[in-house]
Structure 1
């Protein structure tokens, strides 16, 4: 059967693109307007509004007995909110948790969760609830003509569109929500501060953000953690309605221990302990000895951190924990609400409060008008009753004689149907003479009230004054002190990895085949260690376990490894080629350790070199970095650590027996390069490898220099050593016979 054979009369036909686009947009608008975003008037999302209204309809005021939460959830789902019971109950729980809501609207009994695990609340069949006193701010004026009423989902009942909030709950409790294509994140604020800002804005409608922020210092969360966002950023946040906040835990010192007494909003103490313990297990917190949770009913938050010793830098340790755990946390702010025009919009502080004050002013006006209508109706009825009392005998006669006394009374005394109904409904006991006095007294009181209401409604200034008076009274009744202090703090910074590693003495040993290991202590016989067959000692450098070990290869490249990661000297170590990637054919020449500003002498056997700081040699790259430029045919000599640049002199010798003593300070200090000529060697002899510079030595005043030539040794000191003194770059003096083939120079302390 084809589509042409179907009877499609009366069936709307749409392109698939048009249908899906409309369906998605309808769904998006539903989620935005009827589920996820709060209204600027009462600051509530629909499910929250329905929970509070349903509880008021059940008579669950702050003075009533608690009732099972399942009763409330059932009423909400059955009458107003046809969605899942678990989602509805969770929304009710958030309204009751004092650590989630700044001013809870629900007063719960039973297990409603804890700060460590907010979702650990008991099922709704076990918990009980009623409205809190703060709910009066939303419900006290509900039956006074202040709210627009709309049909519920099945049209059998009416529900309020927006509750007549007496204070801007949209700021007091804040709110979060995720809609389609937009979200909202409004932090809670202090009631007194917000009320003061509203009063100021009523008196000064042109007030700026700076003016309002003289009252509103910033958000005020249920916990007592510090707000460390700079004042400038807070002002920008209120000016645009978007931004971010940073909250930091508070701590005290007690008998050497660190006591954390307040955590950021919605941060679990158990989670904090897990994060710190994970770092301790990974040996990244050597300065922490113990960690425990001493929280109880009297101290809801009490996390104890015990430092390893009293020499631990507590501010530095806490700064590291702030940077690496949830002890410091960032919160997004996006003041996106549904405005009075029914549209979602991100509203800055001034616009938000201005719009709420318009809502509040209109609510008060509607309440006064509702009351005025009631007063005028009652006065109208009282006027009719007074006519009846003044003509009581005739009224009684008409009622007794007439089959239809109503029209007769209406015609005789010029009464309205409402007045006639009131007269006919009078009871005999109300016909006493005193009733006339009561009517006149009530009439005088209502007349006075009517005049006052008309005066307020007829004057915008008096209306604003009434709104201001009511806000002030509510602030005094329901307000409390600020909980979240706003302080100026430096940005938290994690400790460098080296600062988290114990500083212990060790010696890094490098073998000729490029195997490395680290021996504890500085008194190590590196040459006497056990080496693999065919291998032997090449170089060693003392240092600390929290320092970097820097290696230099035959191409002039340097590499760095954390000393504490090197294998123990109990074994034969491991090859550097497993961790580093030197060029093909390159071999390692030496190892260096020390502080970042320690100086080393780098040279090649062609007689060139320069002085370099250790920090300039460190590379995080596996393939290292080129530091020493090696001339063609030259070899890199082992680096020499400089102990005292001003006191030490440089002793260099060529393999063919020339010795030169020159000032070490004359050499340039460079980060990389070839360096300057130290000793002159004829180029022909260099190319033929007939002469080259042997590894240099550094000699201080009072020290001797030992020249090694094969099995011969010669110690040179004092005036004899001065004879070899010359400027850098010279050929040097010829050594005595027998030392024409120099192998090494050694500094000797007499």
Structure 2
């Protein structure tokens, strides 16, 4: 078929379905993009917003007028310009009146216009009243001065402006959000004074780049006073590409040990914040918070108080957790997508937006001046004719009285134009008084001076630029205010882990010989007095706090860690560690450790090697743990020994053949893992033959006594007795007295 559209006998157009669908969808898409969802760079408004403001202006609802029912305004908008649903129109009107939604509200509302906690809680339009806000003059003041193009309304009975003559870049000041077909826009609001300074700078320095403009516009300025924490580099990338994101965080202070939140992020409900924090408290995920109060009132619209459980709570860490898990910190997508001056939607960077608006403003001011110049020239022309008539008043009166058609006679007699003759004929008699000549000449002089000034400005680009700068600075002084959202670079929010969130209580973790574990509250527990399964017995215990990690060491030298508060209670007999951990086949657990992460421990094998490590070196999240102590062939792990902090402490080691060696603790290296260094010298052949091994090791504090246990025998070595056993690390040491050849343990006496 050569022609896609084929008329039928009824005169109807026929079109293939796929082409009709494609055309209809494209038409609908362009309608949504251009006439509904995206704002225009010129005045920063969507069509419905523009029509609401113009209709209110048409109704005389200026900032100084009396309030009128919102239903009256909505009715005018729908009946004259916007044939859509009244609820959508009213919601758009409400949004422009909410100070917590718009940085610079365009409408001054009276009644219930919603709240920051619930923006949709506004009253019906039959109850609320409205008028234009003072700031709306920026958009409407020049409408009647020949500055705008007009288009017929939906039924062709009225005209409406295509754009409003914005005196400031309202698009950046109030921002916009909308979803069209295949595209969306998210433009944050900015500070009026900052944007005005950037416009002035760009007018004076047309080659200014985005870095220069950002000295005046460092970032968005949202309607709420929360801190914008987006790094400067990200903001620069956002303004360069027109796309990115920003983060805003609640502002808080400490008052007498209590956390007081005084500002929330944009579009965040205080009630929602209270619910989120309360839910965590009920789930026992915030044990460090004792109380939560809402003290907001008319004087302090935002005031939420969080009471820490004690003054030992790390408040910055707690707030970081709340920022990460609640809406106290919120991210916003930024997409500077708008309808450009060529009528096409486009994502623009900061410089392009300001340049396009300044071009629009330059054209608007030029049209305003030209409109005024035309009016001045027209008035001068009429005054010239009136002055001629005044100077020849007797002849003019004679012609009017005697001629049937005085107009053409006047035009021919005094060389008047049609407009001048008409004006003379419409002049009142009182204007023919003697004093009127003075008034006419005075008005003439004034208008001539204004004409010369207008022509000079229109003919000189520099003068026109200076006028635009002057008006921008004047409006910035009139309508501007200080920045509301401070720009502060902060560290990223981080949620607390389960260990940090658990209450900090003293507990004792008990490990049995069969590898069963349990935890009892308090540090005054006697582990040997607890009940054990048949064939099982006490092996090891560690005193720590419930929010710390318990570390387990197995017979292969691997370390494992579990949060202490997750272990079963000591009211029962516990549970096997193999249910939670995955040690190598045939391995058994030899000890449990606990304490602060930087506590030091001595790890050793009975082959005579060992090293010092911190407790944090033994933390291992995987169930399979991590290898810490490397064991020589046929060696086994000794029970770890705590290492105090004094450099004068001694490491004392004893072998199964009764050799004892003492040396400074500083001689032993601190490692994270490995075999370690030789502690006491045992011949390799005797170690491999299991004829002699390291049986006990202890770190002896300075000036402390040493108890040597061998079977039922106990030998106490005082400080001066230890001198004979002192030596270099790795030496053989000295023999203990007879009867102490099989040392079972060393104790601090």
TM-score by length of 2: 0.88
In structure 2, do the counterparts of structure 1 residues 735 and 458 end up closer, same or farther at CA, with 3 Å as the change threshold?
closer
After TM superposition, give the deviation of residue 626 of structure 1 in Å.
2.1
Deviation at 1:104, TM superposition (A): 0.8
Residues 514 and 124 of structure 1: CA distance in aligned 2, closer, same or farther (over 3 Å): farther
Q: Distance in 2 between matches of 1:7 and 1:437?
A: 73
Query: Which of 642, 648, 651 is the matching residue for 1:649?
Result: 651
Distance across 1 between alignment mates of 2:602 and 2:253: 49
Q: Structure 1 residue 336 and structure 2 residue 337: aligned?
A: yes
Alpha carbons of structure 1 residues 640 and 158: separation in structure 2 relative to 1, 3 Å: same
- CA deviations on 1:383-432 (whole Å, 9 max, x unpaired) are 33444444555555555555544444444444433334334444555555
Instruction: Map 1:548-567 onto structure 2 (within 5 A).
Output: 548-567=549-568
- 2: CA distance, partners of 1:612 / 1:311: 28
Give secondary structure in 2 for the equivalent of 1:467.
helix
Structure 2 equivalent of residue 475 of structure 1: 476
Quote the residue 1:546 is aligned against.
Answer: 547
Partner of 2:255: 254
The residue number in structure 1 matching 2:717 is: 717
- Deviation, 1:526, is 0.8
* Aligned mates of 1:297, 1:218 — CA distance in 2: 30
Distance across 1 between alignment mates of 2:391 and 2:241: 67
Matching residue of 1:628: 629
* 2:637 aligned counterpart, secondary structure: coil
The aligned counterpart of 1:31 is: 32
Return the alpha-carbon distance in structure 2 between the equivalents of residues 225 and 452 of structure 1: 48
Q: Rate the CA distance shift 1:55–1:680 in 2: closer, same or farther, 3 A.
A: same
Map 1:308-707; keep pairs closer than 5 Å.
308-392=309-393, 394-396=395-397, 398-399=399-400, 403-427=404-428, 430=431, 438-487=439-488, 489=490, 491-494=492-495, 498-631=499-632, 633-643=634-644, 646-654=648-656, 657-663=657-663, 666-676=667-677, 678=679, 693-694=694-695, 696-699=697-700, 702-707=704-709
> For residues 721 and 447 of structure 1, what CA distance do their matches in structure 2 show?
115
1:544 touches 1:563 (CA, 8 Å); kept in 2?
A: yes
Q: Which moved more, 1:510-519 or 1:624-633?
A: 624-633
Distance 1:465 1:704 in 2: 93
- Residue by residue, what CA displacement relative to the aligned partner does 1:106-134 show, whole Å, maximum 9, x if unpaired? 00011111122222212222211111111
The Cα offsets for residues 525-577 of structure 1, whole Å up to 9 and x where unpaired, read as: 11111223332211111222232101122333221111122233233223323
For residue 514 of structure 1, report the CA deviation from its aligned partner.
1.9
Structure 1 window deviating more from structure 2 (160-169 vs 639-648): it is: 639-648
The residue matched to 2:510 in structure 1 has which SS? strand
Structure 1 254/637 Cα, relative in aligned 2: closer, same or farther at 3 Å?
closer
What is the DSSP-based 3-state SS (H/G/I as helix, E as strand, rest coil) of the residue aligned with 2:661? strand
**Is contact 1:49-1:163 (8 Å) kept?**
yes
Q: CA RMSD in A?
A: 3.4
Distance change >3 Å, CA 134–CA 658, structure 1 → 2 = same
Q: Is the 8 A contact 2:662 2:722 kept in 1?
A: no
Contact kept, 8 Å, 2:660 with 2:735, in 1: the verdict is no
Structure 2 Cα separation of the partners of residues 486 and 683 of structure 1: 68
Aligned runs of 1:218-233 on 2, under 5 Å? 218-231=219-232, 233=234
1: CA distance between counterparts of 2:411 and 2:211? 64
Question: More deviation in 618-627 or 138-147?
Answer: 618-627
CA distance in 2, matches of 1:299, 1:173: 24
Distance in 1 of aligned mates of 2:215 and 2:687: 80
Q: 2:161 corresponds to which residue?
A: 160
- Partners of 1:458 and 1:138 lie apart in 2 by 26
Asked whether the equivalents of residues 658 and 731 of structure 1 are also in contact (C-alpha less than 8 Å), the reply is: no
- 2: distance between equivalents of 1:568 and 1:650? 36
2:272 corresponds to: 271
Tell me the secondary structure at the aligned position of residue 449 of structure 2: helix
Equivalents in 1 of 2:354, 2:490: separation in Å?
30
Identify the range of structure 1 (82-91 vs 544-553) with the bigger mean alpha-carbon deviation. 82-91
- Aligned-partner SS, 1:96: coil
Conservation of the 8 A alpha-carbon contact between 1:660 and 1:730: no
- Of 674-683 and 337-346, more deviation after overlay is shown by 674-683
Q: Which runs of 5+ in 1 are unaligned?
A: none
Using the TM superposition, give the Cα deviation of residue 268 of structure 1 relative to its aligned residue in structure 2, in angstroms.
2.3
Q: Which piece of structure 1 moves more, 480-489 or 681-690?
A: 681-690
| CA distance in structure 1 between the partners assigned to 2:43 and 2:505 by the alignment | 63
Distance in 2, matches of 1:12 and 1:408, equals 65
Distance 2:191 2:731 in 1: 81
Q: Whole-Å Cα distance in 1 between the matches of residues 581 and 638 of structure 2?
A: 20
**CA displacement 1:328-382 (0-9 Å, x = unmatched):** 4344443333222223333333332232222112111111111222222233333
Which is further off, 135-144 or 579-588?
579-588
Q: Deviations over 1:280-320 (max 9, x none)?
A: 33444444322211111111122222233344444444444
Question: Retained in 2: the 8 A contact 1:227–1:485?
Answer: yes
- Mapped partners of 1:728, 1:239: distance in 2: 65
Alignment of 1:35-74 (within 5 A): 35-74=36-75
> Hey, what's the Cα distance between the residues in 1 that align with 2:215 and 2:686?
84
CA shift at 1:634, angstroms? 4.3
Q: Residues 640 and 748 of structure 1: is their aligned pair in 2 closer, same or farther, counting only changes over 3 Å?
A: closer
Structure 1: distance between partners of 2:726 and 2:471: 96
1:305 and 2:311 are equivalent in the alignment: no
**Cα separation, 1, equivalents of 2:699 and 2:445:** 113
SS at match of 1:378: helix
Gaps of 5+ in 2: none
2:147 matched to which residue of 1?
Answer: 146
Q: Which residue of 1 aligns with 2:129?
A: 128
**Correspondence list, 1:731-742, <5 A:** 742=742
Mapped partners of 1:211, 1:651: distance in 2: 71
User: Deviation at 1:689?
Assistant: 6.4
